[in-house]
Structures are given as C-alpha cells and as structure tokens.
Structure 1
Amino acid sequence: MKLVTYRYEEKEAVGVISPCGNYVYPVKDLGFAYDTMNELIDALSGEGLCGLQKAAEAGTEAEIPFEQVELLAPIPVPKQDMICLGINYMAHAEESARYKKEAFGGERPFAVYFSKRIGEAVKPYGEIEGHLDIVERLDYEAELAFVIGKDAKKVEEKDAAGYILGYTVINDVSAREIQTRHKQWYFGKGLDGFTPMGPWIVTADEISFPPKLGIQSRVNGELRQDSNTELLIFDIPHIIHELSQGITLKAGTIIATGTPAGVGMGFDPPKFLKAGDEIACTIEGIGTIKNVVK
C-alpha cells in the first residue's frame, strides 16, 4: 500500500494509491477522518493499518485520477527532526575519508547518528533551494528512509520489523563546506529545502525485511550512485535496537539509513551541483524522486 500526501483542487489531503495505480483514494472516504499524515500514522498504530488496507482494497467512489493530483512529500512537516546515519556504506566511508584527506582504516565499529532539520520537506518533483549565495559545494545523497509506526522503546533486533510503518526515498542534500567549517552536520544538512522526500510511503508489508533494494542517483541523467541497501554497515534491526535502548522512537519518526558511494564529493575532481541540475533518486520497489536545483 502506498500512502500519499497530495494537493487536489487547492486542498491538501492524505490518501492511498489504488491497487491499479490509476487513482488516489482520500483516506477520509475510506473511513479515516484525518487531515495530515502525522495524524494518520498515530491512528494506524496497532491494528489500524489492517483496517486501512481492507478499506483500500474495497475502494471508494470518491476516487481521484492520479494524474490530477500534485504529490507532496508524504510527511511534509515531520513532528521532529529526522534521524540520520552517516557513513553507513563502506564505499562511501572510503570516499568521504579521501575527500577530507583522512586515513581510512576500513572499520566502522559504531554507527554515526545525527539529526536533520526539516522545516518542510520538498515534494518529490519539487525544487531544491540551493542557497547558492552561501553554498558552493552543494551535494546530493540518495537514501532509504523508514518511518516508525508505533512507539518503540527497548526493542530487540528480532522484533524491529514490527515497529516499521513503511519506507520512502529521500535526498539528503548537503552543503559540504558548511559541514567542514562547523565540524558537525546539523547546519550543513538542515538548510531550508534540503530534504526532498517521496514519492510516497510504501508500507512495510510490501518490502521484504531487512530490505535488499537497489539504490541509485542520477544527475542530469548521468548515473552517479548505484548500490544496494543490503550493503548497509548498520542495518535497520541494529538501528532500531540501538537507538531505542535510550530514546523512545515515537510513531512518525523518520530515520534515514545513509547513502552509498558516488556522491559529488567522491569524484576527482568533485562534481558538485549547480543551478538547473536535476537529481533523480531511485530505490527499487519504492520509486523515484526527481528535483531541480534553483
């Protein structure tokens, strides 16, 4: 099942893509009277998802042709900052060290966590605000993100799958010189318009666990990143288990799992983004987001 936030006739709403893919079913017409994805996620905790699934399979006469809606980010305004993992593919760890002219020992004993501020997530086919007045080294990062479906506290790895609502695609847009200058990632990755997301949330029942999905990015049609999520150093069960030992992961929490090799800073010379560049991020079984830098 694909959950979407969309705009239709100048109104923003939450819906489900029909099984055939040709229509959007407003969740209000499926018996779920919620205005935002955050509200819907709270309602789906527990057995609510099964009820929505059955309602979507039955359909509704209030269907909207898919081509008539404008897709927004599935969670346009998250409840809190997104939790991200840094250098979580070995090949990306190597290219990152090379860019920073650091020695690379080939070991990652502990996960690197940071938060990414999202004032409003960029719609899946919207524009990336490049902040080119203060950013010269603008970069892209295709990532698999997952959404927590119910509050998670002290979760064992074997139980982690039961806490996932679904998966989406994000582009962790990054200002490399700001990252380097401030020696932390919050500012350089948290600028307004730095989080394209979508095109929807694919519910967890649609994806085998743990996910082994192809992940790619293209810039102006040129393939840059080409990997698979099975190469994560710290996988999703580890992430949920480790974080939940000391942090209650609330329903609706978005966690981005890191990016593979092939980002702009990894090339020699680097291939940073400029105004007008189009970045497409694709994850197998989920979809593609495509955004242009302005």
Structure 2
Amino acid sequence: MTPTAPPFGRTLCAMITPFDETGALDLDGAQLLAAHLVSEGCDGLVLSGTTGESPTTTDAEKAALVTAVREAVGEDASVVAGVGTFDTRHTVELTLAAEKAGADGVLVVSPYYSRPPQDALEAYFREIADASGLPVMLYDIPGRTGIRIEPETVIRLAEHPRIVAVKDCSYDFLGTQKVLNATELAYYAGCDEHNLALYAVGGAGCVSTVANVVPAHVAAVLESFEAGDTPVSARLQQRATPLIELMMSSDLPGTVTAKALLNTLGLPAGPVRSPLRPADRKTADGLLAEYERLVAAP
C-alpha cells in the first residue's frame, strides 16, 4: 500500500516547550531546539501538545511559541499548534490565535473530563474546523481524555474539507485500519512503538515524542521503508525500542523523560511545570545510557 500523502510532513516531532531556570517560557531555546530538530530530519513540529505541556501554558505563551518557531524554521517544516481544550469556545479562540501566529494547522484533542457522547464530539470537531481556514488534525488519545473518537465518528468527520489528519494514540490498530480503508485521512502514529507499523499499512508518518532526542533515527525508520528497504527499517525501529520503552513506558510522562535527556545533552529544555516533577538522577542516567547505545549502534 502506498502511504497517504502527508499534509504536514512525514516525521513530526511532538516538541517539548523549553522553559528557563525560573520556569518562564524560553522562546530563544524553542527556536534553537526547533531549528535543531528540523536540521536532523523532522519536517514538521507539533507545539503545545501533550509533550509540550499545554495544560500549564497560557494562551499568550502558546501563540508566542508558534510565532517564534515559525520564525526559526521558516518554510522548511510545518508548524502544527495544539489547541484542544474541554471548552469549545476556548478551543475556537486558540485556533484563531494559532492561525494569526502563523501555524500551518491545528491539533485538536477530544474534550477531556466532560466526556461528551459521539454526536456532541462530532459537533465539537466540526465547529473547530469551521472556525478558521486551517487544516485540522484530530487527536485521539482516550487514555488521557477518557473518551475515544470512535472509528465511525472519524469516518463521518473525514467528510469535512478541513479535517485532514489524525494523531492516533487509540491503541486500536483494527479501528485505525478501518478508517484508513474508508477515508483519505492522513494517519500519524502518536505512539512511537507504532511508527513503522502504521506507516506500513498506509499511515502518513508519526508525531513522535522520542524525536525530541533522536530525530534523525526516527526519520530514518520511515525513510528506509519509503525507499523499499523494509529489513533496514524494521531493524532501526527495533533498535529504538529500548529507548522508546524508557521514555514512554516508565511510569513517567514523555515530557519528563524527554526534558531529562535533552537537559543532559545540553539542548534547550529546562524544567517541567508543576504538577509534573523532574526525573531523578538515576532515571536521567539510564536514559542517557540507552541514548548512547542507540546512537553508537552501526
């Protein structure tokens, strides 16, 4: 199967939001990190998502981040802004602000906590898509929101001309393939262990947290498959598995592990914002050791 044409690129990084030592937004650091990620193979950046600590950044900070990153990467990469909240009016406001700030698209998560039924969920996404001229990436992550965007709902939403993509953290590979078979939506793996598997059945690429620290490796997995070298692609994905497990399945959010490793590597990151807490020294040392094993592998 030929992978879906990617509207936002193929290797997208779910970029952390750098803060300075006082916890304030570090726009200079964000620009440096964004430029680094693009130079290492990312052709898209997703800002203010889960990894970007969106619950603890203000509306003004979110808009400023888009403006700064847009300036840093120019047209070399897409910039997708996370705008989803549990309040439709607030999400519309953030969408319009992202459009004004220069985003290429918006990432819209399901309204969390209130858990609306599927008809209300569909109406929510349609209202956001109607609010601006930006293309929309749905964000299906029921483990955090408490509600699934059911495949039938996604299929109906695909009829909207500005709903073009899905970031898939559903852990329902069958449901994902049902939508791929029925629509032209671009599906992006939102869980790093699924990057190659989803791409192989027609996905558009990935929105990767692990790409914060090994962007070239994450890009190489998909590039090798696209070039027709499936064994190399599979080997690269397998080599990344220990780091993926440490970063994403260690009882710590990916934001915490990514920032711990970035700080150790001397790249812009800074602290996490409360209620998150930084990784301890043992965790940071373990992440660094696994990172070094991965980048040293032939």
TM-score for the superposition, normalised by structure 2: 0.23
**Which is strand-richer, 1 or 2?**
1
Q: Which has the larger radius of gyration?
A: 1
More helix by share: 2
